[in-house]
């Protein structure tokens, strides 16, 4: 149990430090409005990270989650507004697409890295078909939802807490969640015990698809327009978020709370740099640097094997 | 438990092929309720395949399966087997290291769900562990990756005896004692008696013939996919079993031509005396030193430290005595490695000891053969030949390019010397049986020019015939000047050693020369001599 706590402790401390620096530089951020503004764009990242976490739980990786978010974004900016029924159908098809991807990876024993990379081009192509140039109209209910102001807690924080809590409960505390995580570490054992690996992968990929759709919708609501290329950055950010949050690439070791914390860390890098007057051109480098730093510290804490 | 009339399990004419390999060629088997059946045979005889078919994880190509009077030959799978009360503990561990012990218990029981499943799972596995292995010291909340190999095996065995909805009728134990320490193995054997009294049947597959004969009721001998002998266990002795397995003793091969470069590896290990017993021994060229004692009492750590020291020696690293984060022994600068030419000569004088540091002094190159081949030994995507020659890749390369001809020739030579059973060296290594894979790892260590070979229990789960072949191979290598540090959990293997050091809690409790070696002395030292005396 100690090891699991330690996994979340490190990123949590990093997050607290980053927030502390931000608040120190700009005390006005420490308000409802300030936090909302600061963390608004964390919502798509949180959903993308949660989706990535489901895939990483199976010891796979998803290189297409970013373009998938763009695709959902474009669907929201075109079909969902003009023809809602078709739009919803399209979103359901997107989730089904993820389920089929999971099934394909299992049935043909294909490496997920290759299949999801190929899928990323499929998502991008479909998005471009819908919206060759940025634009479109996002339905009002979606933009309203994205700018909803709950009374106590800023929306992005609420979303993060809900995603973390649900993830923690579903993956770490339910009986089937244990089986799902087992798929990532010893699939043969799970199969020998009579569970269907196909069903397990389809469940995990389906969950990732649903979370990806939510992320794309959040992105649409925040941007109030569609863009086929806007989601590209989310792929690597989501991977970094999950890993910084305490997960491992292999072995079915995931930390749902950590994925959300990692998403916030990744997002706040940009803000942190702005507040300490470093040009945002360094943002990507800073994100990479944080990833390396956290992994290095984690390795030190664990000691040599 | 109501007694079924007739045998509990009856298998008839079971056949199974894997491509061109005929794993089972018509096997008949009966198991009565409340009986323990021992199955013996050398590697590749088909024992594990047969048990996988019985447990439902592999479908048979043809044959009849009758369980408790029901013919289940069609559509027989793991779930059906589980519902009929068949449990299996495989040779390769079936635990998920990232999950906790009670979560692993859940994996095997679909009925452990709904609210409060965690409490029920914890209770279930704790009760089973207490039943089979009293004083086990395992917390159901521990993640399995924090458990030692022996503890993981204990969890897996205990899990096989857990009951939720379907009763347990038969438990198949495939090499259970090879990963257990002596106490746990004893506990398992005595628990098997209690289980049988309840009407539970057991299948016990093992290479430890003495153990098998002592505890089982009936015995079955397999060879090359067939049953070659069977009957009541008291009708057999170890020798008659080995005979019926058809193991041919190999003729002694001529030793290798004496090489122009004499190998004179030497090794000295000193640990501070404030640890119980401390560790202090030397190994010279041509010696076989054995490390004995219960599993997990520091033997493997020592081998790893020696290996690390050898790495440092090889790179000519200059290290001053210091204590690393885990109190690792510091290294000593030895002679820098020179290309070609002779190494050798006496070990440099011991460094003056400052503070609490101990040290490991190595002179010579070191090869490490692990018993944990899945994590430390085998390259799973490579062929047998590639796995054999990887350690000597520099020696078969010219101008940085590997000579494929030499690679193949070397691999074939060692395949023949160690009698590795494989149709060709291009065979993917995972297609070999476990024991033959282990042989490949040993071949790798012998084939590369190491002066010192560290063996970390490499012959676990390997059949008697193979073991004998490997003992002879070790003996031949010592004549060429190689020395061996051999950690084994099987006390019977220690007869191959010139000297045995018994470990207890990280320190050496006894040094036993070959002439004075008795199982009793080893066992006593394994539990710490202080423990033997009444406190």
Cβ of residue B115 closer than 8 Å to a chain A Cβ: no
CB contact under 8 A, B99 and A178: yes
Tell me which of B156 and B358 has the higher pLDDT. Answer: B156
- Residues of A within 8 A of B103 (CB-CB) are 178, 181-182
Q: Which residues contact B420 (CB under 8 A, 6 or more apart)?
A: B384, B414, B432, B436, B439, B440, B443
Q: What is the 3-state secondary structure (H, E, C) of B293-320?
A: ECCCCCHHHHHHHHHHHHHHHHCCCCCC
Question: Closest chain B residue to A193 measured between Cα atoms?
Answer: B108
- Residues of B within 8 A of A5 (CB-CB) are none
- Model confidence, pTM: 0.72
Measured between alpha carbons, how far is A260 from B184 in angstroms, rounded to an integer? 43
H/E run at residue A20: helix A2-25
Q: Is residue A47 part of a domain?
A: yes
% chain A with pLDDT above 90: 68
If you ran DSSP here, which 8-state letter would residue A130 be given?
A: H
Three-state DSSP at B84 gives: coil
Residue A287's alpha-carbon distances to A215, A230, A278, in angstroms, are: 20, 18, 13
Q: What angle do CA A296, A300, A305 make, to 5 degrees?
A: 115
Neighbours of B238 (CB within 10 A): 14
CB contact under 8 A, B96 and A185: yes
Neighbours of B149 (CB within 10 A): 20
Q: Is residue A2 part of a domain?
A: no
- pLDDT score recorded for residue A62: 97
Q: Is residue A32 part of a domain?
A: no
- Residues of A within 8 A of B99 (CB-CB) are 178, 181-182, 185, 252
pLDDT above 90 (res A45): yes
User: Can you tell me the mean pLDDT for A217-242?
Assistant: 92
Tell me the shortest Cα–Cα distance from A251 to chain B, in angstroms: 6
pLDDT above 50 (res B342): no
Q: What is the ipTM of this complex?
A: 0.90
pLDDT above 90 (res B318): no
Tell me the shortest Cα–Cα distance from B58 to chain A, in angstroms: 10
Measured between alpha carbons, how far is A156 from A147 in angstroms, rounded to an integer? 10
CB contact under 8 A, A189 and B107: yes
Tell me the shortest Cα–Cα distance from B62 to chain A, in angstroms: 21
Report the CATH number that the domain containing residue A104 is assigned in CATH.
1.10.3470
B134-143 long-range contacts, CB within 8 A, separation 24+: B134/B187, B136/B184, B138/B101, B139/B101, B140/B100, B140/B101, B140/B102, B140/B105, B141/A1, B141/B100, B141/B101, B141/B102, B142/B100, B142/B101, B143/A3, B143/A4, B143/B97, B143/B98, B143/B99, B143/B100, B143/B101
Backbone angles phi, psi at B387, to 5 degrees: -65, -35
Q: The tokens of B364 are what?
A: 């010579």
Strands B62-67 and B9-18: antiparallel
Whose tokens are 């010893």? That residue is: A186
Tell me the shortest Cα–Cα distance from B79 to chain A, in angstroms: 5
Three-state DSSP at B373 gives: helix
- Residues of A within 8 A of B108 (CB-CB) are 193
Measured between alpha carbons, how far is B34 from A85 in angstroms, rounded to an integer? 64
Measured between alpha carbons, how far is B268 from B349 in angstroms, rounded to an integer? 11
Q: Which of A171-185, A273-287, B313-327, B421-435 has the lowest mean pLDDT?
A: B313-327
User: Can you tell me the mean pLDDT for B452-469?
Assistant: 80
Three-state DSSP at B211 gives: helix
Convert the pLDDT of each residue in B353-401 to its tens digit.
333 456 677 777 788 888 777 777 889 899 999 999 988 887 788 888 8
pLDDT above 80 (res A15): yes
Tell me the shortest Cα–Cα distance from A178 to chain B, in angstroms: 6
Measured between alpha carbons, how far is B334 from A69 in angstroms, rounded to an integer? 59
Q: For chain A, how many structural domains are there in total?
A: 1
If you ran DSSP here, which 8-state letter would residue B385 be given?
A: H
Tell me which of B345 and B398 has the higher pLDDT. Answer: B398
- pLDDT score recorded for residue B315: 55
Could you please report the per-residue DSSP string of A218-268? HHHHHHSSB-TTTTTTHHHHHHHHHHHTT--SSSS---HHHHHHHHHHHHH
Which 315-344 residues of chain B touch chain A by CB within 8 A? Answer: 325-326
Interface contacts (A, B; CB < 8 Å) = 74
Q: Is residue A22 part of a domain?
A: no
Cα distance from N-terminal residue to C-terminal residue, chain A: 19
Q: Which of B99, B117, B143 sits opposite A182 (nearest CB)?
A: B99
Neighbours of B331 (CB within 10 A): 25
Q: Which of B77, B94, B325 sits opposite A189 (nearest CB)?
A: B94
Question: Residue A212's pLDDT band (boundaries 50, 70, 90)?
Answer: very high
Residue B17's alpha-carbon distances to B20, B63, B73, B304, in angstroms, are: 7, 13, 17, 40
Neighbours of B533 (CB within 10 A): 7
Q: Which residues pair with B70 in a beta bridge?
A: B67
Q: Which of A173, A181, A194 sits opposite B99 (nearest CB)?
A: A181
Strands B36-40 and B201-205: parallel
Q: The tokens of A197 are what?
A: 């690996």
Q: Which residues pair with B511 in a beta bridge?
A: B501
Q: Is residue A27 part of a domain?
A: no
Which of A237-246, B259-268, B485-494 is modeled with the greatest confidence? A237-246
CB contact under 8 A, B325 and A179: no
- pLDDT score recorded for residue A101: 96
Which 68-97 residues of chain B touch chain A by CB within 8 A? Answer: 77-79, 82, 88, 90, 92-97
Tell me the shortest Cα–Cα distance from A150 to chain B, in angstroms: 31
Burial B31-47 (b: 16+ CB within 10 A, else e): bbbbbbbbbbbbbbbbb
Could you please report the per-residue DSSP string of B113-163? -STTHHHHHHHHHHHHHHHHSTT----TTSBGGGS-HHHHHHHHHHHHT--
The alpha carbon dihedral of A144, A145, A147, A148 has a sign of: positive
Q: The tokens of B382 are what?
A: 């490579």
Q: The tokens of B46 are what?
A: 């088909």
User: Can you tell me the mean pLDDT for B241-261?
Assistant: 47
B90-94 long-range contacts, CB within 8 A, separation 24+: B90/A192, B90/B48, B90/B52, B90/B174, B91/B48, B91/B174, B91/B175, B91/B434, B91/B461, B92/A188, B92/B374, B93/A189, B93/B152, B93/B153, B93/B156, B93/B179, B94/A186, B94/A188, B94/A189, B94/A192, B94/A193, B94/B156
- Residues of B within 8 A of A182 (CB-CB) are 96, 98-99, 103-104, 107
- pLDDT score recorded for residue A139: 93
Identify the domain containing residue A145 by its residue range. Answer: 39-299
Tell me which of B87 and B313 has the higher pLDDT. Answer: B87
CB contact under 8 A, B94 and A3: no
- Residues of B within 8 A of A186 (CB-CB) are 94-97
Could you please report the per-residue DSSP string of A161-218? HHHHHHHIIIIIISHHHHHHHHHHH-HHHHHHTT--HHHHHHHHHHHHHHHHHHHHHH
Question: Closest chain B residue to A186 measured between Cα atoms?
Answer: B96
User: Can you tell me the mean pLDDT for B93-108?
Assistant: 92
CB contact under 8 A, B146 and A3: yes
CB contact under 8 A, A178 and B82: no
- Residues of B within 8 A of A181 (CB-CB) are 96, 98-99, 103
Cβ of residue B113 closer than 8 Å to a chain A Cβ: yes
pLDDT above 80 (res B286): yes
The alpha carbon dihedral of B305, B521, B242, B233 has a sign of: negative
Axis crossing angle, helix A32-39 with helix A155-167, rounded to the nearest 10:
60
- Residues of B within 8 A of A194 (CB-CB) are 77-79, 82, 110
pLDDT above 90 (res A129): yes
The alpha carbon dihedral of A186, A192, A195, A200 has a sign of: positive
Q: Which of A269, A229, A192, A248 is nearest to A58 (CA)?
A: A248
pLDDT above 90 (res B149): no
Query: Best residue in B98, B103, B162 to probe A by mutation, most A CBs within 10 Å?
Result: B98
Convert the pLDDT of each residue in B210-233 to its tens digit.
888 899 999 999 887 889 888 998
Q: Is residue A31 part of a domain?
A: no
Rama region for A90: left / alpha / beta (φ>0; ψ in -120 to 50; rest)? alpha
Tell me which of A302 and B142 has the higher pLDDT. Answer: B142
- pLDDT score recorded for residue B324: 36
Tell me the shortest Cα–Cα distance from B151 to chain A, in angstroms: 17
Three-state DSSP at B201 gives: strand
Tell me the shortest Cα–Cα distance from A224 to chain B, in angstroms: 42
Measured between alpha carbons, how far is B498 from B290 in angstroms, rounded to an integer? 8
User: Can you tell me the mean pLDDT for A266-276?
Assistant: 84
- Residues of A within 8 A of B98 (CB-CB) are 181-182, 184-185, 251-253
Query: Across all residues in chain B, what is the average pLDDT?
Result: 79
pLDDT above 80 (res A264): yes
Residues B174, B93: contact at Cβ < 8 Å? no
- Residues of B within 8 A of A252 (CB-CB) are 96, 98-99
Q: Which residues contact A239 (CB under 8 A, 6 or more apart)?
A: A52, A56, A61
Which of A162-166, A221-225, A247-251, B262-266 is modeled with the greatest confidence? A162-166
pLDDT above 90 (res B42): no
User: Can you tell me the mean pLDDT for A28-56?
Assistant: 92
pLDDT above 50 (res B323): no
Question: Residue B187's pLDDT band (boundaries 50, 70, 90)?
Answer: very high
Q: Is residue A276 part of a domain?
A: yes
Q: The tokens of B145 are what?
A: 């990756």
- Residues of A within 8 A of B430 (CB-CB) are none
CB contact under 8 A, A178 and B90: no
Cβ of residue B505 closer than 8 Å to a chain A Cβ: no
- pLDDT score recorded for residue B338: 28
CB contact under 8 A, B98 and A190: no
Cβ of residue B166 closer than 8 Å to a chain A Cβ: no
Q: Is residue A293 part of a domain?
A: yes
- pLDDT score recorded for residue A165: 97
- pLDDT score recorded for residue B5: 60
Question: Residue B335's pLDDT band (boundaries 50, 70, 90)?
Answer: very low
pLDDT above 80 (res B492): no
Backbone angles phi, psi at B135, to 5 degrees: 65, 40
Measured between alpha carbons, how far is B141 from B411 in angstroms, rounded to an integer? 46
Three-state DSSP at A158 gives: helix
Three-state DSSP at B507 gives: strand
Residue B346's alpha-carbon distances to A56, B81, B268, B483, in angstroms, are: 53, 62, 11, 15
């Amino acid at each position: 149990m100690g090891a699991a706590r330690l996994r979340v402790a490190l990123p949590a401390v990093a997050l607290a430090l980053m927030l502390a620096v931000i608040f120190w530089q700009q005390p006005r951020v420490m308000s409802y409005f300030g936090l909302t503004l600061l963390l608004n764009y964390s919502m798509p990242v949180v959903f993308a990270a949660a989706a990535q976490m489901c895939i990483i739980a199976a010891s796979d990786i998803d290189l297409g989650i970013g373009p998938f978010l763009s695709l959902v974004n474009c669907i929201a900016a075109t079909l969902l507004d003009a023809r809602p029924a078709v739009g919803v159908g399209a979103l359901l098809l997107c989730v089904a697409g993820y389920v089929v991807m999971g099934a394909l990876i299992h049935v043909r024993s294909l490496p997920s890295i290759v299949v999801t990379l190929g899928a990323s081009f499929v998502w991008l192509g479909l998005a471009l078909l819908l919206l060759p140039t940025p634009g479109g109209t996002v339905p009002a209910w979606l933009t309203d939802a994205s700018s909803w102001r709950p009374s106590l807690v800023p929306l992005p924080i609420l979303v993060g807490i809900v995603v973390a809590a649900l993830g923690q409960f579903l993956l770490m505390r339910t009986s089937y969640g244990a089986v799902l995580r087992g798929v990532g570490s010893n699939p043969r054992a799970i199969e020998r015990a009579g569970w269907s690996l196909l069903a397990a992968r389809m469940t995990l990929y389906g969950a990732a698809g649903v979370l990806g759709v939510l992320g794309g919708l959040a992105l649409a609501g925040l941007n109030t327009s569609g863009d086929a290329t806007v989601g590209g950055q989310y792929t690597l950010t989501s991977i970094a978020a999950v890993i910084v949050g305490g997960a491992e690439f292999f072995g079915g070791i995931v930390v749902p709370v950590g994925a959300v914390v990692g998403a916030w860390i990744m997002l706040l890098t940009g803000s942190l740099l702005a507040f300490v007057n470093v040009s945002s051109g360094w943002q990507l480098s800073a994100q990479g640097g944080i990833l390396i730093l956290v992994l290095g510290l984690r390795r030190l804490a664990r000691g040599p094997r | 438990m109501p007694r079924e009339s007739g045998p509990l399990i009856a298998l008839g004419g079971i056949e199974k092929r894997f491509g061109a390999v005929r794993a089972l060629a018509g096997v008949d088997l009966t198991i009565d309720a409340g009986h323990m059946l021992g199955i013996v045979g050398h590697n590749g005889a088909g024992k594990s395949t047969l048990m996988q078919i019985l447990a439902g994880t592999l479908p048979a190509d043809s044959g009849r399966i009758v369980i408790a009077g029901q013919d289940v030959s069609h559509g027989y799978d793991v779930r059906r087997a589980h519902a009929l009360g068949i449990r299996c503990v495989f040779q390769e561990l079936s635990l998920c290291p990232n999950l906790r012990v009670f979560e692993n218990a859940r994996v095997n029981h679909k009925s452990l769900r709904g609210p409060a499943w965690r409490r029920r799972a914890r209770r279930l596995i704790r009760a089973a562990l207490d039943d089979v292995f009293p004083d086990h010291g395992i917390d159901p909340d521990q993640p399995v990756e924090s458990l030692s190999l022996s503890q993981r095996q204990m969890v897996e065995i205990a899990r096989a005896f857990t009951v939720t909805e379907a009763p347990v009728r038969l438990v198949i134990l495939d090499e259970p004692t090879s990963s257990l320490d002596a106490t746990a193995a004893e506990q398992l054997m005595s628990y098997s008696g209690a289980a049988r009294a309840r009407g539970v049947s057991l299948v016990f597959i093992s290479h430890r013939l003495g153990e098998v004969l002592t505890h089982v009721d009936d015995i079955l001998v397999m060879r090359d996919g067939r049953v070659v002998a069977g009957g009541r266990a008291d009708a057999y002795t170890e020798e008659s079993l080995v005979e019926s397995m058809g193991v041919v003793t190999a003729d002694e091969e001529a030793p290798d031509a004496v090489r122009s470069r004499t190998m004179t590896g030497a090794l000295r290990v000193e640990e501070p005396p404030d640890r119980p017993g401390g560790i202090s021994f030397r190994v010279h060229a041509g010696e076989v030193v054995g490390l004995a004692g219960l599993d997990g009492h520091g033997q493997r750590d020592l081998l790893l430290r020696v290996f690390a020291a050898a790495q440092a020696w090889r790179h000519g690293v200059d290290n001053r005595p210091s204590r690393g984060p885990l109190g690792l022994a510091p290294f000593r600068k030895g002679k820098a490695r020179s290309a070609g030419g002779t190494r050798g000569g006496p070990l440099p004088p011991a460094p003056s000891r400052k503070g609490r540091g101990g040290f490991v002094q190595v002179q010579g190159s070191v090869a490490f053969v692990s018993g944990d081949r899945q994590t430390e030994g085998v390259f799973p995507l490579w062929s047998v030949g590639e796995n054999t020659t990887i350690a000597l890749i520099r020696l078969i390369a010219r101008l940085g390019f590997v000579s494929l001809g030499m690679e193949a020739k070397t691999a074939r030579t060692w395949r023949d010397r160690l009698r590795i059973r494989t149709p060709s060296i291009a065979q993917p290594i995972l297609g070999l049986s476990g024991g033959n894979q282990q042989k490949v790892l040993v071949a790798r260590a012998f084939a590369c020019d190491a002066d010192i070979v560290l063996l970390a229990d490499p012959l676990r789960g390997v059949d008697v015939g193979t073991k004998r072949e490997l003992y002879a191979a070790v003996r031949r290598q010592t004549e060429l000047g190689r020395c061996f540090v051999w950690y084994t959990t099987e006390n019977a293997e220690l007869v191959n050693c010139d000297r045995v050091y018994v470990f207890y809690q990280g320190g050496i409790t006894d040094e036993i020369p070959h002439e004075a070696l008795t199982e009793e002395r080893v066992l006593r030292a394994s539990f710490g001599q202080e423990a033997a005396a009444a406190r």
